Structure 1
Amino acid sequence: MNFLKRAFHSMKVKKGRTGLLTIVFSAILIFILAGLTIQSASLKATENAKKSMGATVTVSASMQKAMEEMRSSEKEGEKPDPSGFKLTPIDEKTMNKLNALDGIATSNVTSSTSANAKSFEAITSDDTSTDETDTQTEGRGGPGGGMGGMASAGDLSIAGTNTTDTVSSFTSGTSKIVEGVGITEADENTNHAVIEKNLAEANDLKVGDKIKVEDTDEKSHTLEVVGIYESTETADARALQIASLNPYNKIYTSYTFANTLKGSDYKNTADSIVYTLENPEQVDAFVKAAKKAGVDTDTYTLQTNDQVYQQMIEPLKNVESFAQKIVLLVSIAGTIILALIVILTIRERKYEIGVLLSLGESRVKIIAQFFSEMLIVLIMAMVIAGVSGQFVGNMVGQQLLDQQTTTQTATTQDAGQQRGPGGQGGPEQGDANGGPRGGGGFGGFGANSVAEAEQIKELDITLSLQELVELGGFGLAISFLSVILASIGIMRMQPKKILIS
């Protein structure tokens, strides 16, 4: 064990050399530790994002199938009848099959239609057509909104849902309950309604009041106001010309009540269902499971959308990748730098090496002495890196994340402008049936748009035992390689040549 004593003595005598090696080694380890902690924090944030933001699968009627059926029903030599275009609502049997699948976090069942205000007045603009409620529209079912047939447009938009908590306008903050409660699954088969604040104020309505609406058969239906919501949604001048498109005239009810307005043919059906999955990575597996369960994918489309999740984690992936490169590059550069420093110090100690070899000391023990010295330096550098590495990691990691988030946001905004107001389209999108990938659902009911995704703006960078162990492993590897590289030249020489050189 004499080589250990010589190592301590050499480091004590050559304090300047020891200090230089400690500083250089500390700098190397600090950046390696920063890379390791950033990488670990990125993985943790990705896992948290996975738990908090599931991807969506929107099930709705296939428009392509409806067009094919309309064309097949036309008589030879005649043009297709536009009134024959009819979308097939999702029936109860299909809903049960889908609801039984694994991995569902929440579901949003929607059925939209329109109606006319009877006991109160809808909000209209000066440009609203006076004969609007008499306008006949084709390709809608029920009062202005469902799945086929001739119907009146109506001056109210009836947004049927199983729960307003999963409606995109509420989850994104565009709409919020200000009085009473929202629609829940307990409101199925009831006449409960949630109306917009401006509509309530214009008609002096409050929670607990009853209002009447009229369907296309001029049949009156009574609704009980259980909640009032406030909407910050905007509409262009063209939309405001049609009262039912005015966001203040949107009334939320249970989807069962919307089906009642549309007629008996729509009982226990839905226009669309948006399933939010617990794990965004299981989107494809969910679609396969739906097909295996017997869901008719010719009649219904299964549109997948994990863009919100992908947008959230894209900056994290870039930061994690950059952190891996930091660790790799710093490790390689650190090995080379330390090897050069050790080579220079060993060359200064050629006489010492020659004397030791002439006295019969083995080359292995001489190399072990150099390695012991580097090991002591490593321990001191580990202490310094452990104290300061977390702060450096926080600073570097946050700067990287801010930069990546800014870049990702700009890219998303550009893509959104290219897609246009609908927010759909793009080469990366596609559904289970080869159609466009969307997730928007009907009437703004679907999954949150990419623009509504909240970027992860902070990394929780903490120092754990795992990072310290990994850092020690990198340090040992760098120390060993640097000593071996530095010792190759000297150890091949004979003692006599070393002493006379």
Structure 2
Amino acid sequence: MNFVKRAGLSLWARKGRTLITLCTFLVISVMVLAGVLVNDATARAQQEARRSVGAEVNLGMDLGALTSGGAGLQAPRIDAGTVDAMGGLPQVQRYTYSMWDRGILKGGTELVTEGVQSPMGADGTITLGVLDSSLLPDFRSGNFRLLSGRHLTAADKNDKLLMVEERLARKNGLRVGDKVTLGSNEGTASADFTVTGVYRDPRPVSEAEPEYGVNPANMLYASVGAFAGLNSGQEQGHESGGGSLQVANAVFLLRDADDLDGFKEEAARLAGSALDGFALDANDKALRQMTGPLKSIGSTATLAMWLIGLAGAAVLALLANLAVRQRRGEYGVLLAMGESRSRLILQQALEMVVVAALAVGLSSLFAQTLTQSAGQSLLGREAAAAQRKLDSWQAPPPGSTGIDQGMDPDERPVENADPVDRITVRLDPADVATVGAVGLGIALIATALPAGAVLRLSPRAILTKGK
């Protein structure tokens, strides 16, 4: 009788032991497959989060160089043409930079005088020249809302365009397409800027804009090249690449967070010494905030998978050892009849492999549904806890950074970056193959070791030594 037929008859004759082994293998297969599926699902969710958020890289003053004496007390400046070249790298989706100065409203346009009085005087306001207004933090977070018109873009760099707050627009009857005359901070230069957008700042007029101290209703955003040319006395068509426009900071939005290292290397090569005194810092806070629960359940699933796998392997080894001991007489007789040791080990291994294959097949039928339900429940609890922590954060009092109250500004939540609370589990053939390989490996190891220990004896020793 060949060993394959003997293996089938042995499995059928020992139904109780076969069933116990099958159940053990089934638990191992389900848990290992669940761990693989959860890890795959969380990896996909993290990748989707990366693509939705991108990676924001801030170009700003290197505080380490400043404190070590590597830079002067004056903040460094970089030519806008160099920043434009960095923004043209293939890793960059969009970028922006800005400069601010005092602007003088002329031609009958009046400031909003209710609330905080402008420190610039009765006709002066703070104007922020910006390359791409949609990348400003308040617009990206949804705190500011564009009511009509459009944002300033890089294509508008040297066009005389302006965005105004709705209260200033309402007081002066301004609409998209209207002209507003702006005068330079020094000298008599002035130019007509076209209103390209009207936005809403939710802060009341009684609350000063925190960075510039101006009434929020009087904050203007202008195309950076045209506004810089107005204050430098240049003509409209001047280019920043000639060194006329110097900026202190910039923001680059990358296409993918994985492009960060490549972008830093290319930017350093392209800019060279122009980056002295500057640092490129990745602002991946939004990504960490969104993917925190995913990493938590991924770690939990991996730990559970290893614990169950190791415990199951130990149980299977014990079952295989007991089975071999119970069949010492059978092995002794077969060896005495001339059966080879290798074929007896193959028979024992085949019995375990058949049970393992059946368990893996059964686990693939319901593991996806079970994992989706369990994983979603676990992720939902983690995401809810993370969201409660974000909601409990209290902003520092107006005019304070919160540092003097022992608050860490870095703990401030990123708006519109809610923790991911859903995953989609998909069962791929590669996952089943992985679990199958793990199960077969455990089966072979659990069988070969005890069987080899017994079959190394002679038939006489096996039959006379007893159990």
Counterpart code for 1:194: M
8 Å contact 2:133–2:139 — kept in the other structure? yes
The within-5 A match list for 1:2-41 is 2-41=2-41
Distance change (3 Å), C-alpha of 1:88 and 1:457: same
Cα deviation for residue 31 of structure 1 reads 0.6
8 Å contact 1:412–1:451 — kept in the other structure? no
SS at match of 1:296: helix
Q: Distance in 1 between matches of 2:352 and 2:368?
A: 23
1:133 aligns with 2:133: no
1:115 aligns with 2:103: yes
Cα deviation for residue 370 of structure 1 reads 2.0
Cα deviation for residue 273 of structure 1 reads 1.9
Q: Distance in 2 between matches of 1:242 and 1:163?
A: 19
8 Å contact 1:156–1:244 — kept in the other structure? no
1:457 aligns with 2:421: yes
Q: Distance in 1 between matches of 2:24 and 2:335?
A: 30
The 10-residue stretch of structure 1 (401-410 or 344-353) with the greater mean CA deviation from structure 2: 401-410
Q: Distance in 1 between matches of 2:151 and 2:372?
A: 42
SS at match of 2:272: coil
Distance change (3 Å), C-alpha of 1:382 and 1:170: same
1:475 aligns with 2:439: yes
The within-5 A match list for 1:1-400 is 2-60=2-60, 87=75, 89-118=77-106, 119-126=108-115, 128-129=116-117, 132-134=119-121, 156-217=125-186, 220-232=190-202, 234=203, 239=208, 245-264=214-233, 267-292=244-269, 293-298=271-276, 300-400=278-378
Q: Note the alpha carbon deviations across 1:44-100, whole angstroms, 9 max, x for none.
A: 33433444433333334678999999x99xxxxxxxxxxxx8656432443354345
8 Å contact 1:7–1:370 — kept in the other structure? yes
Q: Distance in 2 between matches of 1:92 and 1:306?
A: 25
Cα deviation for residue 371 of structure 1 reads 1.6
What TM-score does the superposition give when structure 1 sets the normalisation length?
0.74
The 10-residue stretch of structure 1 (7-16 or 27-36) with the greater mean CA deviation from structure 2: 7-16
Q: Distance in 2 between matches of 1:461 and 1:89?
A: 49
Number of aligned positions between the proteins: 448
Distance change (3 Å), C-alpha of 1:357 and 1:236: farther
Distance change (3 Å), C-alpha of 1:195 and 1:467: same
Q: Distance in 1 between matches of 2:446 and 2:32?
A: 16
Q: Distance in 1 between matches of 2:211 and 2:391?
A: 29
Q: Distance in 2 between matches of 1:223 and 1:176?
A: 21
Q: Note the alpha carbon deviations across 1:434-462, whole angstroms, 9 max, x for none.
A: xxx99xxxxxxxxx984554433333321
Q: Distance in 1 between matches of 2:172 and 2:136?
A: 25
Distance change (3 Å), C-alpha of 1:24 and 1:387: same
8 Å contact 1:55–1:307 — kept in the other structure? no
Distance change (3 Å), C-alpha of 1:422 and 1:307: farther
1:146 equivalent in structure 2: none
The 10-residue stretch of structure 1 (263-272 or 341-350) with the greater mean CA deviation from structure 2: 263-272
8 Å contact 2:205–2:217 — kept in the other structure? no
Q: Distance in 2 between matches of 1:421 and 1:37?
A: 47
8 Å contact 1:367–1:487 — kept in the other structure? yes
8 Å contact 2:386–2:419 — kept in the other structure? no
Cα deviation for residue 331 of structure 1 reads 2.4
Counterpart code for 2:165: E
Distance change (3 Å), C-alpha of 1:422 and 1:49: farther
Cα deviation for residue 349 of structure 1 reads 3.5
Q: Distance in 2 between matches of 1:376 and 1:495?
A: 27
The within-5 A match list for 1:376-455 is 376-402=354-380, 405=383, 450=414, 453-455=417-419
Q: Root-mean-square deviation (CA), in Å?
A: 4.1
Q: Distance in 2 between matches of 1:332 and 1:382?
A: 17
SS at match of 1:157: strand
Q: Note the alpha carbon deviations across 1:79-133, whole angstroms, 9 max, x for none.
A: xxxxxx865643244335434545222111222234344433333444x34x733
Q: Distance in 1 between matches of 2:463 and 2:46?
A: 57
Counterpart code for 1:227: G
Distance change (3 Å), C-alpha of 1:300 and 1:12: closer
SS at match of 1:482: helix
Q: Distance in 2 between matches of 1:449 and 1:246?
A: 25
SS at match of 1:239: coil
Segments of structure 2 that go 5 or more residues without pairing to the other structure are 235-239
Q: Distance in 2 between matches of 1:24 and 1:370?
A: 17
Q: Note the alpha carbon deviations across 1:190-227, whole angstroms, 9 max, x for none.
A: 22222223333344332233333444346554332222
